[in-house]
Amino acid sequence: METEREYKLKPTFGDSFGAGWNVMMDNFLRLFLVVIIVGIIIGPLKIFNIHVDSSDLRHIPWHWQGNWEHLFSLASFGILAAFLGLIALLYTFLVVPVFKYGGNMMFVQAVRKIKPDFELLIKGFMQNYLSIILANLLVIALVVLGFFALIIPGIIIGCRLVFVAYIVMDKKLDPIEAVELSWKLTRGHGWTIFLMGFVSFFIIIFGLILLIVGIFPAIIWVSSSFASLYQSVLIEKEKPAEPLAA
């Protein structure tokens, strides 16, 4: 919904959270629905979260003594666990990113004072699907590799690639171009992104403490703030240089 409120879009910690708060207040119901839908999409992953404790296996014979029933039970358990694990893996990498990327773009629309389009949540399946899936995989792979290199490089990479999801949806670039552009846009803003991520963690925790229901405003505020940062950096980078005085 368009409003008369002006958002102060500057790529700073305070201005990003300030603009994010105003965006949340102006579009609360729509963005609340976005968070609910994405949460429902991510929710099924918990179903496949199989936890096996050592006590659960105390009755399984580690040395088979000719009991075919026990052997069949053990084999069936292994096949079922492997099948559910495969389903969860496919769901995580082939379905969830489309909704998350679409939801991120809806927050950017709200920052731009454009009514968030709920079709964006599924539009990725029909448009730009391969770029979304590959970009998500590439970012995860780069961050994981960075964490293997003594953690700090992983944090740096994660901060510098924070705009990839927005860029893929907004600019329709392929994964490599999106990563390169995110790296370029975040140059000089790494500490701001890191500090925002650090504070966002405590905002989410505080939201959980408030009888759990506070988690929804917390997520909306954090998401709106990062979308505001993205838009403010775009404005900064795309602003034409001022002509030199004669």
Residue 160 in any domain: the answer is yes
In tens, the pLDDT along 69-126 reads 555 665 666 787 788 888 888 999 999 999 999 999 999 999 999 999 999 999 999 9
Kindly report which listed range (23-27, 83-87, 189-193, 199-203) carries the lowest average pLDDT score.
83-87
Q: Which among 39, 28, 17 is positioned nearest to 227, based on CA atoms? A: 17
State the pLDDT at residue 190: 95
State the Cα–Cα distance between residues 162 and 243, nearest whole angstrom.
32
Q: Which domain holds residue 194?
A: 16-48+91-236
Residue 73 in any domain: the answer is no
Residue 1 in any domain: the answer is no
- In the structure, what pLDDT confidence band is assigned to residue 240 with cuts at 50, 70 and 90? low
Cα angle for residues 215, 217, 218 (degrees, 5° grid): 60
Residue 229 in any domain: the answer is yes
In tens, the pLDDT along 118-163 reads 999 999 999 999 999 999 999 999 999 999 887 899 999 999 999 9
Residue 80 in any domain: the answer is no
Domain count, the chain: 1
Q: Can you state the angle between helices 96-111 and 215-238, rounded to 10 degrees?
A: 70
Residue 77 in any domain: the answer is no
Say what the pTM is. Answer: 0.85
Residue 68 in any domain: the answer is no
Residue 171 in any domain: the answer is yes
Q: Which among 201, 192, 202, 204 is positioned nearest to 228, based on CA atoms? A: 192
